[in-house]
Amino acid sequence: MTRPRPRIPAPAPIERASRCAWREASRAKLDPGEQGALAALGRWIEEPDRPYAILHGRHPSRRAVVAAHLVRAQQEGTAYAAHLVPIGPDLKLERDILALLTSRLLAGCGGGPPRWLRMRIAKEHLRVGPTDDDPSLLLAITDVEEAEPLVSWPGLFAAVGPRVKVLATVEGDDAAAHAWLQRLGFDPARTRIHPLPVRPWPAPGDPTKLLATTGAASAELLGLLSVAYGRLREDEIATALGAPIESALAGIEPLVTAIEGTYAFRSNAARREVEERLDRDARDASIRRLLSLPPDEYPCAYARAHLEQAAAPLQAFAALVTEEHLARWMARPEAYLGFVADIERVRHRAVEPLPMGREATALAVRAALVEASINWCARREDHDAPVGVELIDREKRIADERDQARALTALSAAMTAGPARAEVLAWATDAARRTPEVEFRGDGLLSLADVVGGEAGYAFAREALAAYRTTENAEERARQMLFVAKWLPPEEGLAVVREALAVLRDSGGDPGDLDLFADRYPRAVAEALWPDAEALPGPARARALAALARGLGDPERVRAAFAAVEQHVNPYDLLMQRTLAELVPFLNAPEARRAAALAPQFGERAAELLESLIPRLRALGDPAEDLLETLPEAARVRALARSLPFAAEPARLLARIDEAIQQAEPRERGWMLFDVCPWFAATGHSDALLAEVALLSDGGRLTALGILARHDPAHAPEFTRQALPLALRFGADEPSRLLDLVPLARHFPPEGAAAALGILLDAVADEYRGAALAGDGVTLVKLAPLIAALAGDDGLAGAAHEVVRVAAWFP
């Protein structure tokens, strides 16, 4: 039996709270002051350049009542689809507000992780707005202070479409209303702020008077309800008070509403009035009573909220990112949606403390990997509950051993030698050895060989070779053997290469595949293989000799290799074109000119060859002006920039490049700048580009500064500090821009590094866990430099521990 996927519009308490709030607020009659505020909001509705409004007043002003009347008035017309979002006992947490917004805006939505829903609501329904066929949208969100500080408002409302109106009601005076602008993400220049006069408490509903006359049991009940999130069931109240509820309710019925066996304050204003009168000891005692209830009940849903409000230490939040907490959530109607809302907040909290240590880093990484694992479980067709309610299908792994090995190896590579690194390497080794696919097992072992080096590295390489030898396909096995040779001692590597060449010869494969690896072999191996390469047939001989010559760098060998390549140039042979291009940086002047004469045979690809030949010729003293004239402008500028390291008069060459860039079309100028940035930076001429870079868009400036920082070590800290705020501005919408800067994380200021880690771990959490560990997007593998910069070896070790921990949790 499987549990259906939770539908986020469905949680009954949320719908119940919304219906009750709507019923009470929309039926109440308005007094003259409230009617005036409603009329003012009606005029705001007609202002096209004011998408935002705030209605404020002190309690017991009935802000929610006025908002409900505005919604009802708009619902009676056809211009607006108007929705009330009443924040009250059941709608104080972000997951609850998202649930209500989703049910109103995403009809038919089958649910999904809260962050995904938040994105859809913000981008598809608020930033874009309704389609031409649909009415305009009005959202009236009441008593937003009830959710503070537990809701990330700006992510929703920072930008809205032209046919969207958002009204928020807040408690307080004009100054309080203005303070809410930034919290909500409202543009002050496009917001109307309306005051609502204070009205007296209705008799007998004045909380102050009732508190003065009520008994101890009733006071305890009011205190309990005033600090509670969500409605409390009768049995929960009885357990917390240690007595039946009936006697405690006597005399306070005007303040408390009972719905389907649950209890809460009738209004937010009354709740706040009572809460403000609690002394610290009484408040703490009430909260302790609530959190001492059975853990699968009230504490499951609201423990995190109480911890946040109490500014609890980070250690207290770790219990929310556990199998036990997930199991409790899975038994509730919200299922994994409530759990994900909890771990998202914990993750964000974990990256706040500076400097970050092992505990904070580990908790943030654990939360990200667990959420990515939940994503995989939630999107499976059979919708099995992840943990605690139904078993996972153990045949379907979330992240296999290969992904785990790659992540652990990357984390260990960023660590310094010591016991902690040795432990992480042991975990990586275990995962690599358990990888069932032969090729991936060998690749994992070779990655470890790269990290450890020395005799231990040779041992890993031999183990990888043994795995590769079991590959059934002979040609594939031979290529793997050619690949592994560079990690072996020279004598063993040479024997393995010769064995691989024999396998290729016997199986009818291409022995020229040696060119894929030969330039990375130790010099002794390359020297010894030269006669073997000379004995190969035709184009394979040319490719192999060229690869060995590149590794050896000997002029005589280069000439011999070029002569072999020259004999086999073929306009349709892309492998030979690549071989010739890779040999270019080693050619002497006569061979370089002969290579230029071959270029026209390559048709459209001729320019690529000439572009690489020109810097080589200029390095050899040949200005190659005739070749430059044949190139398109952009390729010519690149060729000149690549010639900078060899320029006898750099100033003249810089001026020539600058002139070409200035004469280019504005649309092409940015691309030209990106093309020349590496060469300017590598030769110490970054400053020559800064004026042009400053004129680019934010995205263009970020790209250029990132390139300069990567290629100009002397100025990398300065360029990185300029680029990071731009990347953070793109933030979660384009995390790849931040990821591009991560190799420079050692230059990040601590606050910027923490902000970057928070955004990038969000992106990790948005993946499936296999991709989150070592995929193509934002992955834990790629975040190793950032974790190292923020938390050092302790943080890297903590992150590695969570890879192992979550792998055991979600197999």
pLDDT at 1: 31
Q: What is the 3-state secondary structure (H, E, C) of 766-798?
A: CCCHHHHHHCCCCCHHHHHHHHHHHHHHHHHHH
H runs (alpha helix) in 585-647: 589-598, 606-619, 625-628, 633-642
What is the DSSP annotation of 351-370? TSSSS--HHHHHHHHHHHHH
DSSP run (H or E) holding 160? none
Helix (H/G/I), strand (E/B), else coil: 54? strand
Helices (H), ranges, 205-267: 207-213, 216-227, 234-241, 245-249
Can you read off the two tokens belonging to residue 506? 């016997």
Residues 6+ positions from 659 with CB-CB distance below 8 Å? none
pLDDT at 107 (0 to 100): 63
Residue with tokens 């994380």: 745
- pLDDT value at residue 10: 42
Integer Cα distance of 480 and 232 in angstroms: 64
How many C-beta atoms surround the C-beta of residue 147 within 10 A? Answer: 20
- Measured distance CA(605)–CA(638) in Å, rounded: 15
pLDDT score for 114: 60
Transcribe 730-743 into DSSP letters.
HGGG-HHHHHHHGG
321 within 8 A of 370, measured Cβ to Cβ: yes
Q: Residues 487-493: contacts with CB within 8 Å, 24+ apart? A: 487/446, 487/449, 487/450, 487/457, 487/458, 487/460, 487/461, 488/458, 488/461, 488/462, 489/458, 490/522, 490/524, 490/525, 492/458, 492/462, 493/521, 493/522, 493/525
Distance of CA 48 to the CA centre of its chain: 35
pTM of the model as a whole: 0.87
DSSP code, position 153: -
Q: How far apart (Å, rounded) are the C-alpha atoms in residues 75 and 379?
A: 36
d(CA 515, CA 764) in angstroms, rounded, equals 37
Rounded to a whole number of angstroms, the CA Rg of the chain reads: 34
CA distance 790 to 186: 33
Q: Compute the 3-state secondary structure of the chain and give helix, strand, coil in percent, each to the nearest 5.
A: 70, 5, 25
- Regions in the chain scoring below 50 on pLDDT: 1-10, 381-394
Give the pLDDT confidence score for residue 811 in this predicted structure. Answer: 72
Per-residue pLDDT tens for 302-351?
999 999 989 999 999 999 999 999 989 888 877 777 888 899 999 999 99
pLDDT at 445: 97
Tell me if 354 sits within 8 A of 751, measured CB to CB. yes
Least Cα distance to 428 among 397, 382, 474, 460 occurs for 460
pLDDT one-digit tens code per residue, 171-212? 999 999 999 999 899 999 999 999 998 888 887 888 888 888
User: What does the alpha-carbon distance between residue 215 and residue 212 come to, in Å, rounded to a whole number?
Assistant: 9
Cα–Cα distances in angstroms (integers) from residue 449 to residues 84, 439, 442, 797, 801, in the given order:
61, 15, 10, 19, 21
Amino acid 336: pLDDT: 79
Judge contact between 807 and 402, C-beta under 8 A.
no
3-state secondary structure of 437: coil
pLDDT at 379: 59
**What pairs with residue 53 in β-bridges?**
167, 192
CA atoms within 13 A on the CB side of 616: 21
Note the pLDDT of residue 457. 97
Other CB atoms closer than 10 Å to residue 464's CB: what's the count?
Answer: 27
